[in-house]
Amino acid sequence: MAASDSTHEETGETGATPAPGEGTAPAVPPATVTGTAPEPEGAGRRGEEPARMTIWVRGEVQGVGFRWFTRAAALRIGGLVGFALNLDDGRVQIVGEGARAHCEELLDWLRGGDTPGHVEGVTEIWDEPRGGYRGFAIR
């Protein structure tokens, strides 16, 4: 088959174009050409990055089932490991590791007023996960 002379629509130039099936590459779907680059290792959508939060809850939070309900909330949210612990000064300390969005959901629950007892304040710090937990424990 011979090449034919035609006008190239994209450039307006004239010249020889290969006949169908001769010297042409298969068409590349536009999505392949304009797709986004893969994310770097460890990157994820917002909220999926791993996090560790340590929380101290002040108020009437000991002797009212607070740790048990905190563990139940962590299990309901899913994807969290860590513990809830009564401190000698009357506070409850909670350490949770998992996706940041899951940690934030537990934190929102602790601040939301649907906890046993009476929460006067919640303080948290964020860090990189350290690992070493299996499940969510009451200590």
- Report the pLDDT value the prediction gives residue 47, as an integer from 0 to 100: 79
Residue 96 in domain? yes
Residue 43 in any domain: the answer is no
Alpha carbon of 123 to those of 25, 32, 46, 93, 120: distances in Å? 62, 47, 23, 10, 10
- Residue 28 inside a domain? The answer is no
Q: Which domain holds residue 125?
A: 50-138
Q: Does some domain include residue 45?
A: no
Residue 3 included in any domain: no
Asked whether residue 101 is assigned to any structural domain, the reply reads: yes
How many domains does the chain contain in total? Answer: 1
Q: What is the pLDDT along the chain (139 residues), one digit of tens a residue?
A: 444 444 444 444 444 444 555 554 444 444 434 444 344 344 457 779 999 999 999 999 999 999 999 999 999 999 999 999 999 999 999 999 999 999 999 999 999 989 999 999 999 999 999 999 999 999 9
125 inside domain: yes
Decide if 128 is inside a domain.
yes
Catalytic residues: 67, 86
Residue 58 CB contacts under 8 Å (≥ 6 apart), including other chains: 90, 91, 119, 120, 121, 122, 123
Residue 23 pLDDT: 52
| CATH code (residue 131) | 3.30.70.100
Task: Check: pTM over 0.85? Answer yes or no.
Answer: no
